[in-house]
Amino acid sequence: MKINRSLIAFFLLTFGFNAAYAQKSKPLFPQTPGMVSYTFRKSLAKDPAATLDTLQKLAIKDMEFSNLFGKTAAELRKLLDERGMKCSSFGVNYADALDKTKEVGENAKTLGAKFVRVAWVPHKGPFTLEMAEKTVADFNKIGKQLKDEFGLTFCYHNHGYEFEKHEDGTLMDYIIQKTDPQYVSFELDLLWAFFPGGDPAGLLEKYPKRFKLMHMKDLKKGVEGNLSGGTPVENDVALGTGQLDIPKILKAAKKSAIEHYYIEDESPSYATQVPQTMAYLKSLTY
C-alpha cells in the first residue's frame, strides 16, 4: 500500500494549524464576573430591588456587598434569593471588623457570604511599619474569630498606601508575610496595586495562595500614581482602555487561589463602562 506523503503533509499542516488556532482562541475569562455593590452604590441606595433587577439583566449573579443599603442582612438575602443571585463576600470597615466581629460574622452568614473583607486601614500621613504591625495583630485576631465562630475567611483589600518601601519589599509584603495564612487572606484590587507602583500579576505570582478575591478595574491612561490611596473616581475606566495589562494579570490569576472576580467601577460612567468591561472580558483569548 503506497503512502501519499503529500496528503499526509496536508493533513498534518491543516490539523496543526487548526489545533494552534483553537489553542490561541481559548477564552481567557469564560466565566461571568461578579459585581462590587459600590459600583451601583447610588442606585442601590435608592432602590435595591430595582438595581438587582438591572444587574440580573446583565447576567450578574455574584455580589460583594460593603453596605446593606438600609436593609437588614435577611432582607437583602431575600432580594438576592428571589433573583437567583448570591453574596459571596461582605465588606465592612476596620472598626466594625475589630470591635463588632460577632455582628459582622452573623450578617455575613445571613447574607450567605463566605468571605468578610476590609478595604481600608484608618491612618494619617504615610503608612508606617508601626501601623503595619498593629494591622497584622488586628487582622490575625479578626480572622481567627471569624474562622473559629463562623467558618468565614477574612480578607484584606489593598488600597495603595501599603506599598511604602520596607526592607527588600513593601509594607504590603510585610502584612502578607506576617499575617497567619490560616486566618487572613487577601483581595487584590488591580488599580490599587498598580497605582502605587506595584505589579498586580507579580503579586499573584509571588503569593499564589494568599489572594482569594479580586477587584477588576483599570486606570485612565496618563494618570500618574502615588502612595496616597486615593485618585478621582473619574480615573476608573473600562477594562482594556487604561494602563493595566489585564490579560497578563488574568493569566497569573488562573494559576493562583482566586475564587471570585468582581468588577468595580467607581466612576460616574459605570452604566456604560460596565457593559464595555464585560464585553472586553468575553473577548479575551489565549
For residue 11, what pLDDT band results from cuts at 50, 70 and 90?
A: very low
Q: Stretch 58-84: mean pLDDT, rounded?
A: 97
The pLDDT, as a whole number, for residue 17 is 46
Q: Mention every residue, 6+ apart, whose C-beta is less than 8 A from residue 70.
A: 45, 48
Residue 250: all three cell numbers together: 488574568
Residue 180, pLDDT above cutoff 60: yes
- Portion of the chain with pLDDT greater than 70, in percent: 92
The pLDDT, as a whole number, for residue 25 is 86
User: Which tens digit of pLDDT belongs to each residue from 139-153?
Assistant: 999 999 999 999 999
User: In a 10 Å sphere around its CB, with 0-12 CB exposed, 13-18 middle and 19+ buried, how is residue 77 labelled?
Assistant: buried
Among 18-32, 212-226, 244-258, name the one with the lowest average pLDDT. 18-32
The pLDDT, as a whole number, for residue 137 is 98
Q: How many residues does the chain have?
A: 286
Higher pLDDT, 43 or 7: 43
Helices (H), the chain: 5-24, 41-46, 48-57, 73-82, 94-99, 101-111, 129-150, 171-178, 190-194, 200-206, 246-254, 270-283
Higher pLDDT, 31 or 22: 31
User: Which tens digit of pLDDT belongs to each residue from 229-254?
Assistant: 999 999 999 999 999 999 999 999 99
The pLDDT, as a whole number, for residue 16 is 55
The pLDDT, as a whole number, for residue 270 is 97
Higher pLDDT, 13 or 120: 120
**Is pTM, for the whole model, over 0.85?**
yes
The pLDDT, as a whole number, for residue 24 is 61
Pick the CATH number of 28-283 from 3.30.428.10, 3.30.420.40, 3.30.70.260, 3.20.20.150: 3.20.20.150
Residue 23: all three cell numbers together: 489553542
| For the chain, domain boundaries | 28-283
Dist CA 199 CA 43 (whole Å): 33
Dist CA 191 CA 196 (whole Å): 9
For residue 15, what pLDDT band results from cuts at 50, 70 and 90?
A: low
User: Which tens digit of pLDDT belongs to each residue from 254-285?
Assistant: 999 999 999 999 999 999 999 999 999 999 99
Q: Stretch 63-70: mean pLDDT, rounded?
A: 96
Residue 232: all three cell numbers together: 478621582
DSSP assignments along 53-102, one per residue: HHHHHTT--EEEES--TTS-HHHHHHHHHHTT-EEEEEE--HHHHHHSHH
The pLDDT, as a whole number, for residue 6 is 57
